[in-house]
Homo-oligomer: A and B are copies of this chain.
């Protein structure tokens, strides 16, 4: 069967001639190198699954500094290594969750057992690019420091949002905030009701297509029925602890750049051939912030 190619390409393609309406991919392909910011190696968590797949998470210390410090401490102590941690929960249209029960052993040094509720931060100090369209979950939506954010100018707060591929800290009921030993990533439509209810600490920048495709768990909450179904984690390391030549490197599109502004504009009003109509709007998570592997050279 010869497949019919029908839906618009979301991946990068070569820039179209100037006479054609631009696609989001065209905008990214045309963005100058200066519009791409390289993510510091100390913000990249490298998860190697036992099966060989590598997953890379960009952490967001500007939004959840204590949780991120905990996650780095767990990684550096080898807390999740050698089969002690696994993916054990996959709930359809919701989350994939992994980690290690932190009650098993003494915490590694440096881990804060009960971090503060870093569910939002001060808006002050952030240079925000407004999305320009309404948000159902907050007074305003926009972008800052390379992240999608929701914010409240009156309250003076800003928070990371539960978009696809975004990573949060699993917790029990309040006032527990989770310590970072167990994490989840969003694998479905953005469950934005979780915003400011759980700490969002980053996003998956590589390996998401593996994390989203594990078999769904059949027990309550999508937990795997048998521990034999768990997907074992081989190791978790910070990229900054890897030898220089072996560090993965990723970039995000500077949310203050002209390229990013154009990217959001084009996302909100597709005019390329397939799109016989433009919506004239876009939601925060559909706009998103593009990331990529740092180009060679």
A residues bordering B, Cβ < 8 Å? 1-7, 9-11, 84-86, 88-95, 97, 99-101, 104, 117, 119, 133-138, 163-165, 170-174, 178, 182, 184, 188-198, 208-210, 212-216, 220-221, 223, 227, 230, 267, 270, 273-283, 285-286
Contacts and interface: CB of A to CB of B under 8 A. Distances in A.
10 contacts: A1-B104, A5-B172, A6-B182, A10-B91, A93-B165, A93-B212, A189-B189, A193-B279, A193-B286, A197-B274
Given A193-B279, A220-B11, A281-B136, A208 B93 contact: yes
Most buried by B among A192, A215, A220, A221: A221
Contact of A282 (B84, B164, B193): B193
Contact of A213 (B94, B164, B216): B216
A164 B188 contact: yes
A7 B195 contact: no
A10 B197 contact: no
A189 B209 contact: no
Nearest to A230: B1
4 smallest CB-CB distances across A and B, nearest first, come from A136-B281, A209-B216, A134-B134, A6-B170
Nearest to A227: B1
B196 A277 contact: yes
A4 B182 contact: yes
Nearest to A278: B193
Contact of A3 (B2, B84, B89, B189): B89
A104 B94 CA distance: 39
Contacts of A276: 117, 174, 197
Given A93-B208, A164-B188, A136 B215 contact: no
Contact of A192 (B197, B214, B283): B283
Contact of A163 (B119, B189, B275): B189
